[in-house]
């Protein structure tokens, strides 16, 4: 057992800072030794060391609290093991707490600016949005925005990249529980359709800028389209290699699927009663069987795809 002054000396953390951490419910309660006397045990000391290590890594208090609520580390070794495991994981495998843990201080600030930019661009469009709007939404100075980005256009491009990678990561996660290529494409497509609004809201002013002659944004739009096509093409090529899909021009098919998904995404935005799962089941039935009457399989047999997708979506929601 130690007094708080002794704990401060051992850890190099001031008494006032320790008391602040206690006020934020980050530390266990001390053992009362009398009306004005409190003692702090080994569990308290080890948790304080964990918090110090997390603060040294640049994590703000709110993020430390979010992580410790889910992962109450008893010592620094547990925290470091958690951090290393997060660093080894692929983006779509990261839990929200792991993602928080692996961000550096600079990355954290950039992400804050980009999240604010997403809101501003989504509501105002690229042309009407200003750096002042973004800084105000992020709660930082305009100068801080310029520390990380050259200007509005650079923020816009980075925000598109963030939105796209987040969408593709969620699509990959949704399909992670199955190896069937058609089912995987379906689950990825369902994610893309239901989250398409995010990407569309970000890019609603993009085509106006392209028509106005903005070559940089034209290149970015092309990159976005190619990135999604590559994402789908890789899935198709994998199915071909495994002998589960017939040989096709995977790039052409991927671009065709993008067009279909964009149309479905628009319907999802415009139609209050649009059912993306029913749409996808009908679409995948068409992809597998075409328009020709198939006497070998009746509709009830073919509709097993819909059950697979529904099962896969429920499985994904639990991960």
CATH of the domain at 53: 1.10.1660.10
Domain end (from 82, 102, 122)? 102
- Residue 165 counted as domain residue: no
What residues of the chain score a pLDDT lower than 70? 33-35, 92, 104-106, 202-205, 293-319
d(CA 35, CA 206): 66
What is the rounded distance in angstroms from the CA atom of residue 4 to the CA atom of residue 37?
Answer: 10
Full residue range of the structural domain in which residue 76 is found? 4-102
Of 224, 190, 182, the closest CA to residue 207 belongs to 224
pLDDT of residue 105: 64
pLDDT for the residue numbered 307: 62
Partners of 156 in beta bridges: none
Domain boundary among 87, 102, 117: 102
In sequence order, the 6+-apart residues with CB closer than 8 A to the CB of 49 are: 11, 75, 76
- In terms of domains, do 92 and 183 share one? no
pLDDT digits (tens, 9 = 90+) for 223-267: 888 998 999 999 999 999 999 888 999 999 999 888 888 888 888
- Asked if residue 51 belongs to a domain, the reply is yes
What lies within 8 Å, CB to CB, of 126 at 6+ separation is 152, 156, 205, 206, 208, 209, 217
Residues 187 and 98 in one domain: no
Give a yes or no: residue 8 inside a domain: yes
Q: Same domain, yes or no, for 200 and 85?
A: no
User: 9 in a domain, yes or no?
Assistant: yes
Q: What is the pTM of this model?
A: 0.66
- Within-domain flag for 289: yes
- Determine the Cα–Cα distance for residues 2 and 136; give it in Å rounded to an integer: 46
User: How far is it, in rounded angstroms, from Cα 79 to Cα 55?
Assistant: 12
Same domain, yes or no, for 72 and 181? Answer: no
Which one of 72, 102, 132 terminates a domain?
Answer: 102
Nearest Cα to Cα of residue 103 among 144, 62, 138? 62
Residue 114 lies in a domain: no
- C-beta atoms surrounding 215 within 10 Å: 9
User: Does residue 229 fall inside a structural domain?
Assistant: yes
Number of independent structural domains in the chain? 2
**Does residue 67 share a domain with residue 180?**
no
- Residue 210 placed within a domain: yes
């Amino acid at each position: 057992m130690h007094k708080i002054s002794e704990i401060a000396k051992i850890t190099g953390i001031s008494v006032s800072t320790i008391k602040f951490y206690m006020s934020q419910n980050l530390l266990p309660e001390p053992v009362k030794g009398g009306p004005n006397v409190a003692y702090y045990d080994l569990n308290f000391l080890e948790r304080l060391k964990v918090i110090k290590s997390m603060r040294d890594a640049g994590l703000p208090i709110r993020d430390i609290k979010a992580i410790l609520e889910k992962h109450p580390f008893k010592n620094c070794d547990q925290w470091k093991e958690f951090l290393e495991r997060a660093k080894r994981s692929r983006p779509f495998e990261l839990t929200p707490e792991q993602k928080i843990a692996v961000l550096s201080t600079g990355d954290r600030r950039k992400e804050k600016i980009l999240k604010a930019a997403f809101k501003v661009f989504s509501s105002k469009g690229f042309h009407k949005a200003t750096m002042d709007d973004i800084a105000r939404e992020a709660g930082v100075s305009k100068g801080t925005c310029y520390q990380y980005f050259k200007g509005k256009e650079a923020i816009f491009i980075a925000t598109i990249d963030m939105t796209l990678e987040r969408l593709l990561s969620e699509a990959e996660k949704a399909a992670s529980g199955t190896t069937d290529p058609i089912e995987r494409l379906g689950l990825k497509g369902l994610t893309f359709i239901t989250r398409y609004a995010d990407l569309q809201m970000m890019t609603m002013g993009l085509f106006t800028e392209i028509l106005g002659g903005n070559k940089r944004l034209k290149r970015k739009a092309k990159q976005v389209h190619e990135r999604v096509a590559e994402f789908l093409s890789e899935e198709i090529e994998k199915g071909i290699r495994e002998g589960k899909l017939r040989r096709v021009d995977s790039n052409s098919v991927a671009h065709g699927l993008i067009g279909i998904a964009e149309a479905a995404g628009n319907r999802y935005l415009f139609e209050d009663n649009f059912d993306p799962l029913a749409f996808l089941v009908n679409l995948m039935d068409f992809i597998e069987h075409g328009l020709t009457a198939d006497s070998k399989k009746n509709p009830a047999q073919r509709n097993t795809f819909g059950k697979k997708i529904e099962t896969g979506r429920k499985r994904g929601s639990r991960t």
